[in-house]
A = this chain, B = another copy of it.
Amino acid sequence: MLEVTEKLRQNNLKVTPQRIAIYNALCESRSHLSAESIYNYLRESYPTISLATVYKTLSTFIDTGLIQELNTSDGISKYDIVNDPHPHFVCNICKTLYDLPELKSMENVRNEIKDSTNFEIITEQIFLYGICDKCNEV
């Protein structure tokens, strides 16, 4: 993976400590972070960072295609580094957002969509809703 600094430069974004920290937080986190959770996480190392900066930075990253916003039924946006596309699973009970493995059959879906519309597709998001293992046990 490219150095963060490099990624920012490539997109004509000024390299600031806040941007590096936010990007790294998203890379390092195994879970899907909200703006608020990024903010709380970064406050330990960057006590003066503001929530507004987090939102503005995330918005910038979305515009440049570095990250993706995931909008699910709990009304809180989560953010995901754009790497290999993969579907997501949302538990209707605990609202946890899980990554699912990349699907081979998505290639067919993409082709079928390309044939059925002349819209220009940039990104794709697949959400499966249901009950996760943990909540099913209870």
- Name the distance in Å between A72's Cβ and chain B's nearest Cβ: 6
> Of B72, B117, B118, B129, which one neighbours A122 at CB under 8 angstroms?
B129
Q: Across the interface, do B113 and A121 meet the contact criterion of CB distance under 8 Å?
A: no
Residue tally, chain A, CB below 8 Å to B: 41
- Name the distance in Å between A21's Cβ and chain B's nearest Cβ: 24
Please name all residues of chain B whose beta carbon is closer than 8 Å to the beta carbon of A72 when the two chains form the complex: 71
Q: Which residue of B lies closest to A72 (CB)?
A: B71
Known contacts A73-B69, A113-B87: A133-B121 contact under CB 8 Å: no
Q: Tell me whether chain A's interface is mostly helix, strand or loop, or mixed.
A: mixed
In the complex the two chains form, what is the Cα distance from A77 to B74 in whole Å? 11
A13 within 8 A of B: no
Interface residues of A in 72-111 (CB under 8 A from B): 72-73, 75, 77, 87, 89, 91-92, 98, 100-101, 103-106, 108-109, 111
Q: Please, could you name 26 A-B residue pairs with CB atoms under 8 Å apart, sorted by A? A: A71-B71, A71-B73, A71-B75, A87-B109, A89-B119, A100-B113, A100-B117, A105-B105, A105-B109, A105-B111, A109-B109, A118-B133, A119-B128, A119-B130, A119-B133, A120-B130, A121-B129, A121-B130, A122-B130, A122-B131, A123-B128, A123-B130, A124-B126, A124-B128, A125-B127, A126-B127
